[in-house]
Amino acid sequence: MKFGVVTFPGSNCDYDSYAAVRFILGEEVEFLWHKSEDLLGCDAVILPGGFAHGDYLRAGAIARFSPIMDKVVKYAHTGGVVIGICNGFQVLTESGLLPGALIRNDHLRFSCKFVHLRVENNESKFTSVCKKGEVLKIPIAHGEGNYYHFDEDISTLEDSGRVVFRYATPEGEVTDEANPNGSINNIAGITNEGGNVLGMMPHPERAVEDILGSSDGLRVFESLRACFGSSKKVVAS
């Protein structure tokens, strides 16, 4: 399968995402400049972490008007796979592809550390190789990752299995102490109604090799590959 990684001015995890897909997962990947209007036939589009357009006004608020976002939104509406990681999640909520908003962390500090995520739904395209309840160790790095949504809308998300990841203890217990930013119901990642758009604050692309402290993030990319199949050619020796 072929991934595309969007680079906005201010993206800083675009190369990490590219490297995770190309060198660790071993699939095709292309950079997509934010002013481009061509997704280059990518099967899955990654909106990476960083500070797109300086995060001026609100995180993701300006990025949603980058020319490529028109194409990304149209692609998502026709069932195309889109993953927003950290700043990319903020772009997805600002662009209306995912509900809710990501507001300032409740403790007001930028948080950069490993957290544990419990896989709440393993029937999503993004978690198909995980077990339900499995705990993934993946880092966060954000100041505005506090997922907020009004009560009645949260129940809709919860009831339809759209909460994919929740902050938990290493043992998989969802507690206040395990919540790094004040997110409602410890929500760390959600999908859209169609299940083809994922937004998550933690960085799976930063946890793809043991030398990085964890390779659990690879599970997200492997899940997608399991859905699409590999495009890797078998080379005769």
Partner 1 sequence: MMAENKRAVVFVRLKDGVLDPQGVTIGKALQQMGYDDFVSVRTGKFFELEINDSNGDIDKKIDEVCSKLLANPVIERYTVERD
Task: For the beta carbon of residue 17, count every other beta carbon within 10 angstroms.
Answer: 30
* One residue of 19, 73, 103, 129 binding partner 1 per CB under 8 A: 103
3-state helix, strand, coil in the chain (%, to 5): 30, 25, 45
Under the binding rule (CB under 8 A), the answer on residue 99 touching partner 1 is: yes
Applying CB under 8 A, does 111 fall inside the site for partner 1? no
In the three-class reduction of DSSP (H, G, I as helix; E, B as strand; rest coil), residue 190 is classed as: strand
What's the one-letter identity of residue 217? Answer: G
- Candidates 35, 74, 77, 107; binder of partner 1 (CB under 8 A) is 107
Place of tokens 């990085």: 212
Q: Considering the complex, state which of residue 19 and residue 101 has its C-beta at the smaller distance from partner 1.
A: 101
Which of 106, 123, 171, 173 is close enough to bind partner 1 by CB under 8 A? 106
Tell me whether residue 11 or residue 146 sits nearer to partner 1 (CB atom): 146
Number of residues lying near partner 1 (CB under 8 A): 21
Question: Based on CB atoms, which residue is closest to partner 1, 106 or 173?
Answer: 106
CA 228 from centre of chain: 18
Question: Rounded to an integer, what distance in angstroms lies between the CA atom of residue 139 and that of residue 212?
Answer: 10
Residue 93: other Cβ atoms inside 10 A:
23
73 is a contact residue toward partner 1 (CB under 8 A): no
d(C-alpha 31, C-alpha 148), whole Å:
31
Contact range with partner 1 by CB under 8 A, out of 39-47, 97-105, 129-137, 159-167: 97-105
Cα torsion 188, 194, 195, 197 to 10°: value is -60
Question: For tokens 């028109």, what's the residue?
Answer: 70
Q: Is 86 a catalytic residue?
A: yes
205 is catalytic: yes
Annotate each residue in 27-66 with x if it binds partner 1 (CB under 8 A) or - if it does not, as one string: ------------------------------xx--xx--x-
String of contacts with partner 1 for each residue 127-166, x by CB under 8 A? -------------------x-xxx----------------
CB-based burial label for 2 (10 Å; 0-12, 13-18, 19+): middle
Residue numbers annotated as active site: 86, 203, 205
Question: Which residues make up the interface to partner 1 (CB under 8 A)?
Answer: 57-58, 61-62, 65, 93-94, 99-101, 103-108, 146, 148-150, 182
